[in-house]
Structure 1
C-alpha cells in the first residue's frame, strides 16, 4: 500500500457476525446496517451490493472529473448500473463486475472516451484492475 500522496479520508467501520447475520457500523454513525447473505430472507444488504454502490459512485465521480477537465457538459440523467457477481469454484470464492454507463445525449465516441479515462483514474477501477473480471459498457 502506498503511503505517498495526501490522505483525504479514512473510512472506519466495525462489522460483527459476518455476512449472514452481521451488523456493520461506521465510526461516525452515518452507516448502520444489517447484513444478510445474497438471496436471504433476512432484511439487510450484502457486501456485493455495498461494493457495487461504492464502485459505481466512485466511477461516476471520475466521469464528472474527466468531463469537467475537458469542458464537456454531462446530462443530469447520467447513471451507472453496477452488477457484482459472487462466484464459487473449487471451494474458492471470487467476484466479477459489470458497470453499465448511461450518458444520454452525449456523442457515443465522446462518452466512450470519458468512460475509458474515468476507468484509469477511478480508485476502485485501479484496485480491481487485473484482479477480477470487469466489463464496462455504454448503454
Structure 2
C-alpha cells in the first residue's frame, strides 16, 4: 500500500473492525475543554494542545491568538488529508506531495444571532492524473469523518486545484 498514513484505525478499517450492522467501534476518543469568554483557552487532556483564544479583528476582537474557526479549518484539513491518503493508498497512489487547504467562513443572516459555517476544501494532487485525482477527492469527501459530520448541515465546497 502506498499510503503515507497508518495507525490502529487504518488497520482496523482494512480488517473490517469498523462499522457493520451493529454500529461503530470507538477507536479513539479526544477530549478538549474551553474556558473563558470571547478570549479564553482551549486545551486537551494530555496538554499537547493548550492555546489562547481571541476573537479575530474582523469580528471586533483583539486578534493576536487563534480562534475556533482556525481550529476547525486546521482539523478538517488534517482529517481530509488523512482520508485522502487512505483512499489513494488503497489504489496504490502516492500522496506524499499532496496537500489539503480548507477555508472556514463564519456567516450571519440578518440582524439576529443566526450564524452558520461555510467551508471550502481544496485538494492539491500535483503528480496525479487530474481525472484520477478528482475521483480520489470525491471518495475522500465521502469517507472523511468531518465531511460526514457536516453533510446536510454546512455548505461544503470541494475543489481540485
TM-score when normalising by structure 2: 0.79
Q: Structure 1 runs of 4+ off > 6 angstroms?
A: none
Q: Distance in 1 between matches of 2:63 and 2:29?
A: 30
Q: Tell me which residue corresponds to 2:101.
A: 81
Q: Tell me which residue corresponds to 2:5.
A: none
Aligned residue pair count: 136
- CA contact 2:69–2:104 (8 Å) conserved in 1: yes
Q: Tell me which residue corresponds to 2:54.
A: 36
Q: Tell me which residue corresponds to 2:33.
A: 14
Over alpha carbons, which structure has the higher Rg? 2
Shift of 1:128: 0.5
Q: Tell me which residue corresponds to 2:9.
A: none
- CA contact 1:58–1:124 (8 Å) conserved in 2: yes
Q: Cα deviation per residue 1:98-138 (whole Å; 9 max; x = unaligned)?
A: 01110002100000000000011100000011111111101
Q: Tell me which residue corresponds to 1:5.
A: 24
Structure 1 gaps of 5+ residues are none
Structure 2 gaps of 5+ residues are 1-18
TM-score when normalising by structure 1: 0.91
Q: Cα deviation per residue 1:27-86 (whole Å; 9 max; x = unaligned)?
A: 110110000112233421111111111111111111111111111222x32111110000
Give the SS at the match of 1:86. Answer: strand
Deviates further, 76-85 or 106-115? 76-85
Give the SS at the match of 2:51. Answer: strand
Q: Distance in 2 between matches of 1:80 and 1:41?
A: 29
